[in-house]
């Protein structure tokens, strides 16, 4: 596989954050699904719209999500004071530190194959986030992995696609009748099964990523 490390642009980062918000707002009723995120959105607006953590745990999450090691002091400068700092500050800091693999086709049995390259790179990104990829095959269903590694899956799919819209349909169907406390507990993903439209397997996911490149 030919790997060229390149910088993600500030626009790429913003698109990733926008897509993360679009998907996550379908599950967390405390988010604002109608929020419009731009470079000029304040950190206050972003955190309120997405029901996000305070700046310190949020910075730790962003380091893990993008595979970077930005210092706490630099994150504090980018995220506080939250009424003045904007997503431009966040995107600029991430873009300065985050590299991605420019995926090129690999040769299999004498034929150039882009889908194999995308699939293997996705597995590598997921493994980086401690997802057990040992049994993932192109034919593997993605729903069990979303149920177990919801955040990690969406993060890395967003990064490899640079925030492009992969899931045209993404919905949650309750697995049982939920009481008020269960509806409030957004961390319990067993409350829902995931509806992902025509993207059912990792092969479907791989082809959709290629289609949107």
- Decide: pTM greater than 0.95: no
Cα-Cα-Cα-Cα dihedral sign, residues 182, 185, 190, 194: positive
- Average pLDDT of span 57-63: 96
Contact 136, 203 (CB under 8 A): no
The model's confidence at residue 4, banded by pLDDT at 50, 70 and 90, is very low
The full set of domain ranges for the chain reads: 3-99, 105-211
- Strand, coil or helix: 95: helix
End-to-end CA distance of the chain: 18
Determine contact, residues 205/157, Cβ cutoff 8 Å: yes
Q: Which residues pair with 125 in a beta bridge?
A: none
**Which of 7 and 209 is assigned the larger pLDDT?**
209
CATH architecture, domain 3-99: Orthogonal Bundle (1.10)
Q: What's the pLDDT tens digit per position in 73-120?
A: 999 999 999 999 999 999 999 999 998 777 777 878 778 889 999 999
Nearest to 159 by CA among 11, 24, 8: 8
């Amino acid at each position: 596989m030919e790997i060229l490390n390149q910088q993600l642009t500030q626009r790429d980062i913003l698109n990733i954050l926008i897509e993360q918000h679009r998907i996550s707002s379908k599950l967390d009723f405390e988010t604002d699904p109608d929020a419009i995120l731009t470079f000029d959105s304040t950190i206050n607006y972003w955190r309120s719209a997405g029901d996000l953590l305070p700046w310190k745990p949020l910075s730790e999450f962003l380091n893990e999500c993008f595979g970077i090691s930005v210092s706490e002091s630099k994150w504090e400068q980018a995220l506080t004071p939250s009424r003045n700092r904007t997503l431009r500050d966040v995107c600029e800091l991430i873009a300065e530190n985050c590299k991605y693999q420019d995926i090129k086709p690999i040769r299999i049995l004498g034929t150039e194959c882009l889908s194999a390259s995308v699939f293997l790179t996705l597995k590598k990104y997921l493994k980086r986030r401690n997802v057990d990829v040992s049994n993932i095959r192109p034919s593997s269903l993605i729903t069990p992995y979303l149920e177990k590694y919801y955040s990690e899956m969406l993060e890395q799919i967003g990064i490899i696609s640079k925030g492009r819209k992969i899931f045209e349909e993404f919905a949650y169907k309750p697995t049982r009748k939920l009481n008020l406390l269960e509806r409030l507990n957004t961390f319990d993903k067993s409350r829902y099964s995931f509806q992902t439209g025509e993207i059912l397997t990792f092969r479907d996911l791989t082809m959709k990523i290629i289609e949107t490149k």
